[in-house]
Amino acid sequence: MDRETAEEPPAEFSTEGETPEAGRILVIMHQAHSVPGRIGHRLEERGFRLDPRRPAIGDPLPDDLSSYRGVVVFGGPQSANDTHPYIRQEIDFVGRVMKEDAPLLGICLGAQLMAAQLGARVDRHVDGLCERGYYPLRPTPLGERLLPWPSHVYHWHAEGFDLPRGAELLAEGDVFPNQAFRYGRNAYALQFHPEVTQDMMCRWTVRGAERLAHPGAQPAEAHLEGWSRYDPAVCLWLDMFLDAWVGLTHADGTG
């Protein structure tokens, strides 16, 4: 179902009465110049302090998660199938986070690392297609019970993931079917990029202009048009999602 506007979150994913205490959020990024974008801004607005780590350039990952309220693993140009030691380290790390049932959010590559840790295949589209631009999103019945979702979301990827065993599919797409899943009660994986600001989008479409010639990619002007049309609904969705995620208010009993 297409949703251009968002409403109050259903009781199954309610944020009523939640005011998270100030704490740290571990933020994992994959390039020296990467930023946490809109997600970082919104977490800081909610009183959280970000602890940015970039394993690709040598930053260590913490051994102890007890001082963190959550972990966000962002996207990057790497693949979950790469043999870089830090990719293997990250896959093992997200496995530890999920085992401890700590709040975990994986975005694009981060979602693929979660899928790989759970034994699911991560690979390119069978027809060589990519998603770069705004593409339709459809919540599953479970996803729709949790939150009202935007009708289109922003993508920048050429690989996708199979749904891991034991995971619950929350949203689907046309090109890459698996767009969002939940594992356990606190781990969420998103194939799309709700963190992208307009400035980030402009940088991606300029610096990555050659990738817009790949099969399935949308031209740069469609990215900007999509921003004007769909981003308000993405913002509303993201605010409700983050409030529920960091508030640990998953009360539907299906996890």
The structural domains of the chain, ordered by start, are 11-247 (3.40.50.880)
CA–chain centroid gap for 170, Å, is 12
Q: What pLDDT is attached to residue 161?
A: 98
Q: What pLDDT is attached to residue 22?
A: 55
User: Whole-model pTM?
Assistant: 0.89
Please tell me the distance from the alpha carbon of residue 207 to that of residue 220, in angstroms, as a whole number.
Answer: 11
Contact 150, 232 (CB under 8 A): no
Q: Is 235 a catalytic residue?
A: no
Catalytic residue chosen out of the listed positions 30, 152, 155, 193: 193
Q: What is the chain's pLDDT, residue by residue, as a tens digit (255 residues)?
A: 333 333 344 334 433 433 444 589 999 999 999 999 999 999 999 999 999 999 999 999 999 999 999 999 999 999 999 999 999 999 999 999 999 989 999 999 999 999 999 999 999 999 999 999 999 999 999 999 999 999 999 999 999 999 999 999 999 999 999 999 999 999 999 999 999 999 999 999 999 999 999 999 999 999 999 999 999 999 999 999 999 998 743 334 333
Catalytic residue chosen out of the listed positions 90, 130, 152, 195: 195
Q: What pLDDT is attached to residue 5?
A: 34
Q: Is 131 a catalytic residue?
A: no
Residue of 196, 31, 176, 208 whose CA lies nearest to 112: 176
Catalytic residue chosen out of the listed positions 108, 130, 131, 157: 108
Q: What pLDDT is attached to residue 4?
A: 33
Please tell me the distance from the alpha carbon of residue 166 to that of residue 140, in angstroms, as a whole number.
Answer: 16
Q: Is 195 a catalytic residue?
A: yes
